[in-house]
Amino acid sequence: MARSRLGIGIIGTGWVAGAHAANFLQIDGCRIVAVCSRRRSRAAQFLAGHSIEDAGAYDDLDAFLAHDGLDVVVICTPHPNHPAETIASARAGKHIVIEKPVALNRTDLNSMVRAVRKAKVLTSVCFELRWIGLFRNIKAMMAQKLIGNVYYGECSYYHGVGPWYGQYGWNIKKDMAGDALLTAGCHALDGLIWLMGSRVTEVAAFSNTSPKNPLKYEYDPNSVAILKFDNGSIGKVSTSIECRQPYLFPVLLQGDKGTIWNDQISTISWPGLRKESWASVPTDLPDSGDVADHPYLGQLQYFVDCIRTGKRPHNDLEDAAHTHEVIFAINEAIKTRKNVRVRK
């Protein structure tokens, strides 16, 4: 970039936007220069709440994108808004951070990918669990082949979203949330694909709602999918957002030399390890749905580094498009009760 400091602009002033602002304020060489909301007063209030001075408050997207010194746009708005805001930001030549899900349907997803490709800007999709300690440790273990060749993996997302949860009101609506995987379980799906290091080629899936649908979801809040990967391995992803339990995000990977279960490993690669025991590897776990606990800092610092070096981020829109295509295939499998091939 021509400037030594990157100008950051945030679209949205809610809970997630606040987490992004707090983390960008910790990154050297970054400055929040503009915020856009449906009401300019909300944008101004957001800036004041984060003690951000000399920044623009906007209620018009085009004016926001024209702000002098804006380099990176962070999209933290309701799910249905992400496609139009991404496309406009790309056309304005801005690098983009996009909250998940990036789109609720394939048509919007493809339009976003085309716009970003044409603009040749960099993107970062918020599958931030790739930066949590557990996932970083597992990737390192896999690189060292500590459990050998992985042939099976599981990753699940269990997080009850009911009246006790701040996002419940809109999260139960199909036109806002999409489905259980798009609004929440995509973290587990992306995590499994990332850890397995292979793309999904085929899926089978089922979904349901608990008896009498007590939380009034407009879509099935529970789903399970079986995945076939292009390297021959298989996996399972399950999601429940109507469960009554503490937040749970279990990870299981099995290889021909051992198994990883969350922050524990059993492997013949360590000859001194007791065969009937697990070796614990203390680390940060994905054990909270609160965005204040999400590892955004690692994701955003990595994106800033990619912008400065011109490196393609591993969590960019092109990569995230595959995770979304798997979700669309899962939804088709649920509807048709048949195995479905994932579009490339």
Q: CA 81, CA 5: separation in Å to the nearest integer?
A: 28
DSSP string over 213-248: -TT--SS-SEEEEEEEETTS-EEEEEEESS--SS-B
245 is a domain residue: yes
Query: Which one of 71, 86, 121 terminates a domain?
Result: 121
Domain housing 224: 129-288+323-341
On whether both 102 and 208 belong to a single domain, the answer is no
**Cβ contact 8:23 at 8 Å:** no
On whether both 241 and 103 belong to a single domain, the answer is no
On whether both 171 and 79 belong to a single domain, the answer is no
Pairing of strands 72-75, 264-267: unpaired
DSSP state of 313: P
On whether both 117 and 161 belong to a single domain, the answer is no
DSSP state of 53: -
Count the neighbouring beta carbons within 10 Å of the beta carbon of residue 145. Answer: 15
296 is a domain residue: no
**Cβ contact 286:132 at 8 Å:** yes
Query: Which one of 121, 144, 174 terminates a domain?
Result: 121
67 is a domain residue: yes
pLDDT of residue 3: 61
On whether both 43 and 89 belong to a single domain, the answer is yes
On whether both 165 and 39 belong to a single domain, the answer is no
- The owner of tokens 């990918």 is 113
312 is a domain residue: no
Q: CA 165, CA 6: separation in Å to the nearest integer?
A: 35
Cα within 13 Å of Cα(2), Cβ side: 3
Helix (H, G, I), strand (E, B) or coil at 200: strand
The token pair at 75 is 């999209």
Q: CA 110, CA 309: separation in Å to the nearest integer?
A: 27
**Residue 19 phi/psi, 5° resolution?**
-65, -40
On whether both 135 and 106 belong to a single domain, the answer is no
DSSP state of 130: G
**Residue 322 phi/psi, 5° resolution?**
-65, -45
**Cβ contact 118:90 at 8 Å:** yes
69 alpha-carbon distance from chain centroid: 27
304 is a domain residue: no
DSSP string over 135-169: HHHHHHHHHTTTT-SEEEEEEEEE---STTSTTHH
On whether both 63 and 104 belong to a single domain, the answer is yes
Query: Which one of 89, 121, 153 terminates a domain?
Result: 121
261 is a domain residue: yes
**Cβ contact 90:65 at 8 Å:** no
**Residue 293 phi/psi, 5° resolution?**
-100, 0
Q: CA 293, CA 284: separation in Å to the nearest integer?
A: 10
Question: pLDDT tens string for the chain (344 positions)?
Answer: 446 799 999 999 999 999 999 999 999 999 999 999 999 999 999 999 999 999 999 999 999 999 999 999 999 999 999 999 999 999 999 999 999 999 999 999 999 999 999 999 999 999 999 999 999 999 999 999 999 999 999 999 999 999 999 899 999 999 999 999 999 999 999 999 999 999 999 999 999 999 999 999 999 999 999 999 999 999 999 999 999 999 999 999 999 999 999 999 999 999 899 888 899 999 999 998 877 789 999 999 999 999 999 999 999 999 999 999 999 999 999 999 999 999 98
The token pair at 204 is 């089978």
DSSP string over 74-122: EE-S-GGGHHHHHHHHHHTT-EEEEPSPS-SSHHHHHHHHHHHHHHT--
314 is a domain residue: no
Q: CA 127, CA 316: separation in Å to the nearest integer?
A: 10
On whether both 145 and 248 belong to a single domain, the answer is yes
Helix (H, G, I), strand (E, B) or coil at 131: helix
On whether both 206 and 256 belong to a single domain, the answer is yes
pLDDT of residue 1: 43
Partners of 235 in the β-ladder: 153, 227
On whether both 151 and 103 belong to a single domain, the answer is no
Counting the structural domains of the chain, the total is: 2
Burial class (CB in 10 A: 0-12, 13-18, 19+), 179: buried
On whether both 172 and 77 belong to a single domain, the answer is no
CATH number at residue 71: 3.40.50.720
Q: pTM of the entire structure?
A: 0.96
